[in-house]
Homo-oligomer: A and B are copies of this chain.
Amino acid sequence: MGDPSKKPRMEDDGLVFPPNPYLKKQEKDVLYHLGLATDKDDLPALFGDVKFVCMGGSPTRMKRFAEFIGKRLGLVQKNGSGPKDLCSTDRYSMYKVGSVLSVSHGMGMPSISILLHELIKLMHHAACTDVIFTRMGTCGGLGLAPGTVVITDSAVNEMFQPVYQMIVLGKQVNRPTKLSREVAEEIRAAYEPGAKYDVVIGNTMCTSDFYEGQARIDGAICDHTLEDKIEYLKAAYDAGVRNIEMEGTCLAAMCHKSGIKGAVVCVTLLDRLLGDQVNMTPEEHDEWEQRPQELMAKFISKRLKL
C-alpha cells in the first residue's frame, strides 16, 4: 500500500506524514469520499508525482482549471476527451494533469475538512514529496474593486484571530492558521503589472455562514441591523481583513498541522462595504474567476521552470 512510513524519515525528504499515530496500524485505508482505497487502487502509481494540489469550491471551475493548466503546461490530451474525474463518488471532482491535481471542495469548512483529511492521507499513501496545497476561490472583498485578487496573508476567524476553531470530543480546540509566506510571495511575483486587475496581500476572514455569519442583511434570517453590519465590517477592515470566504482558516490550520505549505488566492465578486447581493454579469463572473487560475498557472510554470 505504498506506505512511506516504513522508509526511514529524513529531515528534508519532503514526504507527507499525517499527524495520526493510528494510521500505521491500519491494514488498509478507505478514502471514502474520494472513492479510493489502498487495497484496490495503486496510489503511488496513480498520484506519486503530484506536486500541486489546487482546490476550489466549484466542480465546473476545477474541471476548467484542469483543462487550462493542461494547455499551459503543454499536456493537453491528444484524444481530446478532456480530463477524467478521478473521484468515483459525487462528493468531489478531482482531475490530474501532470503534477497538478485539480479538486473541488464544495462550500464551507466541514466540506473542505473532509477533503483535506483524505487528500493528506492520499499524498502520504502515494509517497508524494514537496507538495503545495492551494485554494483558488471567490469571495467578498472589503474596500476593493470587484475583480481584485487577494492573496491571503493571515487567515482569521470571525473574531479576527488567526485561529481555526473546532470541536473534538465535545471540547473546543483552537489550531493556529499558518500559510506559507514563501508561496504567497511567489504567487504575487507571478502577477504581471499591466494586467486588468490588482493583486493585494491581506488578511482573509473565514466564516461558517454566508449570510448572517458574514453580517449580510439579505438572508432569510436577520436579527442584526444595517448599522451593526457596517460597524462589524469596518472593524474587520481595521484588523487588516481584505476579503471574506468560507474555507481559509481550515485549510491553513490543517496544512500547518500536517507540515504542508498552503496558500489561498481568491477573487472578490463585490465590495461588502457597499452591499450584500452578488450581482455581476455572467461574463464578469467568468472573467473574474479565471484570474486566480491565471496567477496559479504562472506560479506553477515558474516552479516547474517551463
Q: A residues touching B (Cβ–Cβ < 8 Å)?
A: 18-23, 26, 29-30, 32-33, 57-60, 89-91, 106-111, 113-114, 116-118, 120-121, 124, 157-160, 166-170, 173, 207-213, 215, 217-224, 226, 228-229, 232, 235, 246, 254, 257-258, 277-279
Contact = CB atoms under 8 A, between A and B. Distances in A.
Contacts of A108: 106-111, 113-114
A199 to B, nearest CB: 24
Nearest to A260: B220
A117 B167 contact: no
A228 B279 CA distance: 48
B20 A220 contact: yes
12 contacts: A19-B223, A26-B277, A33-B210, A58-B91, A114-B210, A117-B220, A121-B219, A157-B167, A166-B209, A166-B212, A168-B212, A169-B224
A14 to B, nearest CB: 17
Given A60-B90, A108-B109, A213-B167, A117 B22 contact: no
A235 to B, nearest CB: 8
A91 to B, nearest CB: 7
Given A211-B117, A277-B32, A21 B109 contact: no
A222 B20 CA distance: 5
Contacts of A21: 222
A107 B167 CA distance: 17
A231 B245 CA distance: 35
Contact of A111 (B90, B107, B158, B254): B107
Given A91-B107, A168-B212, A217 B120 contact: no
Contacts of A224: 168-169
Contacts of A279: 30, 32
Contacts of A222: 19-22
Contact of A232 (B116, B124, B169): B169
A218 B168 contact: no
A58 B90 contact: yes
Nearest to A116: B220
A215 B22 CA distance: 13
Contacts of A246: 110
Contacts of A228: 169
Contact of A223 (B121, B168, B221, B223): B168
A18 to B, nearest CB: 4
A10 to B, nearest CB: 21
B121 A114 contact: no
Given A32-B277, A108-B110, A166 B208 contact: yes
Quick one: which of A106, A159, A229 has the most chain B CB within 10 A? A106
B22 A226 contact: yes
Contact of A218 (B23, B208, B219, B257): B23
